[in-house]
Every structure is written in structure tokens, then in C-alpha cells.
Structure 1
């Protein structure tokens, strides 16, 4: 079987530089192999959210993926909620999952536990497994913090295949060699994230150049003045060197030898980040809502072919009807899709 990869992007906040360096750019560079990319809007429902903001962030994430180089003619790009197979396989896989194994997942421990916690927060790792298994994915690029989810996916696929035969493709996690973790500029001990409580150290992909420069010039550094690459003793400076290295395709330890001061390093990092994001921002603002929607609809139609076939295999293996049964008779009048009529005079 040829290598197939998948990446999902959750619209819970604006995409930031870590998302681009760690996930989007490698996805774009790997489009010579079969690739699936989706906006995981169903996952955004696991916590309290504003519907209008969710719709806007979904559109923004999709637009930035296109602007960054995801080619809808080469890569399957779609909105998760447009593909009913996700939720259907989710339930079927829940029938193979155990309460204990999903209850142990780290995100539920960190965000859940109270009486108001949504049940979907507990079960969404199974939905994530469905996302992967729908498309016969062989490799899942993830950071170290997401490896647990891929392991659950593998466990569910192996268990299902043991019970029902070779139905599901068992994927493996692969880790990017660089930029797997970009630190917050204001707190080098924390990961740069799109939902961080403070955005002072987060470089969003749509931040204007002056905002990007201001955040970088205010980045936390370390004691002393020597510019050296030492993530343990100099995490702030090392993070800046990592950023410059990934923007310019050079080694951080080699770059460090060129600098005598933190200020010059920060200035060059700002120049490199602005130059990296300028074409993405320009292409993003050139896209119309119609452009984005057309790409998502086209992708959902392409994704449905393989996804629906996977669901059918799973249902057959579990003893469910092989094909939907219809009587061929018209629906009763009270449930037909007919427009309501205005009431007549009394």
C-alpha cells in the first residue's frame, strides 16, 4: 500500500507560526504523496464556543491552508463536518473502545473532570481515530504531545481487525525532525499555541508586520549577553535561533556564531519571519469566500469516496446491513420535503 498522510487543524483560535513550521509547511512540501488535510470543526465543539466565531475561524484556517500552498487539485482538503462518515465511524469505533482507555487520555485529564464537562471531550480521541482510519492512512505526522492519540488509533484498529478480520489500515506516528515544538516568545518554557492565555509571545500567521516585529523584539532572552545555542541553559535565545534556523534552512548552532548581541539576533529573526509570512498573507487576502468554499466542497466530495467505503466495510464486518434498505415507496405526506402552505381564511 502506498504511503498516505493526514493532518487536521482545529479552528479553536487563529493559526500561529508553530502551526505553520511544524505542520502546514511539511504538509505542503509532502504533497507529492497522497495527502488528506481537513479543518477539524467537530473537535472544536468539545469545549464552550461561539458559533459565529467557529464559522469564521473555520473559514480562516481553510483560507490560510490554501494561501500557504495546500493545492486542492493534489491534496484532499475539506471541512470535517461536511463528511458524515466521521461521526458514523466515530460511533462504530466507540463500540470497540473501552471507557478506561479514553478516560486516561491527557487532554481529558487537563480540561475535564467537572460536572459541566462535555461528554464529547471524553470521546473525541475516538473521533480522532475515526478521522485517521476513514482514509486508510499509513502515517500521521504529529508532535510528541499527540502521540498518545495515534497509539489509541492503532489499538482500536488492531483490536477491530482481531475481532472482525483485516478491515482497517493500522497507521503509525511520524515526527517532524525540526520545529516540532516552537516556544512562546514571552515564556520559553511554554509551547507557542493558538489558545494561549496571553498572546504577547505568539506569532499569528495574520499578524501585521509591525506586530510581528514588536513581539519578537520584546521576546524573553536569558542572563548574560553571549549568543549561544543551548536549549537547557539559554532557552530564550535558543528559541530565537530555532526560529531563524527554520525560517532560513540553517543550523541554529551555526547561526549563533554570527551574533554578538541579542538585539541584532531579534532584528534578524523579525526580518526572516516577516519575509516568510508576507506571501502567505498576501495570497490569503486575495482569496474570496467563494474560492475557499469551492475548494472545501470539492475536497469533501473527493474524500467521501474512500470514507464511505471504509464505513461500509466496518458496518458489514460488525454485522450491520450491507446496504441501506429502502422500500421504494414514497414518504408519507407529513414528512415529505414540501414547503408549508399559508393557512386559509377561517
Structure 2
């Protein structure tokens, strides 16, 4: 049987295994899905459609091209990620709903589901969970270690200093691999923050090495304010590590504040603009040579609450909730396969 193509960025076949984890691997044995690197040339999926009009066409994060949406015979499924579409205008979703193809939407976060349903698009809501048995549980008798993949400079150095001090963190594993467009001097961290040793890793990490480093940590500092799913966070929760995160989708759909992790207060876009403007002005007044970089989580949002939390208890609760969530995820896989391929 010819595999169903799942068009995605080359990054998701060469580097990241995200869609392998949430799409291809869970449905193995039910559907044969081939992750297909795509340069967004519309002719590529059009050629597939012309050769086999009955075959579903899956798009992972990247939206289906307008040329394909015009074909009423096209069987299109799109897996949008909230971190990618958060600022797209609602007119885009309205256009999807009006298109002859009217694609199906697999929503891995609440805001994506709400947008898709508001415009009448056929929608399947899913919450992905790892199988916790794949991961060694956190060791509570080792040194307290926190891992932070510094992707966008979410936390200021002062915020990280406060977090490490309040939680008595002995070691910070700092993966310094910013997302495209975020490689800024303001993301660098010193070799020591207070009494916390900082191990900075700048090299590309294969998935196995990334899992090994996660296995050394009992705390995880979530890397981004918005996530499509957030696999680093979910792997940490599945192990029983305590996750500290910005209060934003989709992370806050898994991390329940005070029960299975800790969420830092979020601000409105207006408040962020005001804080950014104030920060730029102060940066100029103090005559700093380094270009200004705005961190969405500052020391004020960290506050003093971390001194009163029980990280080990929150981590244990996270693993327990992940076990329950994985059972629900697994029970819904047949419906997932039917939504993708049943036309």
C-alpha cells in the first residue's frame, strides 16, 4: 500500500522527531505515514493529488498551499501548531473554511481547536502523552539539577538566578541552541550563577543525547511561552521532573499550577509592549553597549513563591498524571487514524 505523505519542514525529518512522536509512530500498524520534507512548492502535493486523487494529504505545521485548497477533490488534513499560528489573522481561518477542499484540522492545543471550530472546520482535539515506561524515573537522591534549552531567551539572567537560588539548584544544564532569529548576546549565561554551576552545551544534540541530559535533571525550565505540544516539557513530566513554565498554551494545558508543576504569571500583549519599551529606555540611559534583548519572564514574575513549593511532590504528581493521560491518548488512536484516512 502506498504510504500517506505527511508534508513537513526538512527540520522535522533531519533534526526534530516531533511529528514522528505525535503522528507516524503512534499510528504504525494502522496507517503507513511517510514524513516528507517539503520546500513549500505547491506543485509537489498537487502532483501527488493528480496521481492518486483518493489519497489523503497531511500537512504538519506548514499550511496546505492555496493551489491545493482550490481542489474540491483534495483530502487535506492539517496539524497546525499554536506557536506557529498564534498571530495569524482570523481571515486566514475563514479562508480555509470557504475553500473547496475545507481541510480537516487536528488540534493539539485548546486555542487551535477554538479557532478551527469557530469557523466550522472539521476538527479532532487530541492531547499527546508519552509512555512513561520509556523513561527512567527521576532520582531524588542526586544533586538538584535543572535543565533549560535556551531557545528564545524567555527568562532573564536575574530570573534564572532567583529560580536557582530559591530552589537550591546545584547545577544548571544550559542548552544554548536558539531558534532561528534568536541568536542574541543577551541569551548567553555565565559559568556560574550564584552558587549554581552552569554547564553550557552549544553543539547540536541528537535525540538520544537530549534524553540523556533530561535524565540527569529533576527540574525543567520550559523553553518557550507558546508551544505546539512541548515535547521537552512532556518528557520531563513523564519522568517525574518538576516543570517550571510560562503560563501559556499548550504548556499550561499539561502543567497544572500548584499540582503538577509551577507556572509563572503571563502578561497581556499590551503589558509586554509597555515593559519592553521601558526596558529599552532604561538600557539606553544606563549606556550599555550590548544590544537590548527583551525577556518575557523577569525576576518580578518569579517572585518568592518558589521557596514554598515542593518540587519533588509536583514532579511525582506530574508523572502520575502523565500515566493517566497516556492511557487516554492510547485509547483514542483508532479515532485519530480514522480522522486522517477515513473519507
Q: TM-score, normalised by structure 1?
A: 0.30
- Structure richer in strand, relative to its length: 2
- Structure richer in helix, relative to its length: 1
Q: Which has the larger radius of gyration?
A: 1
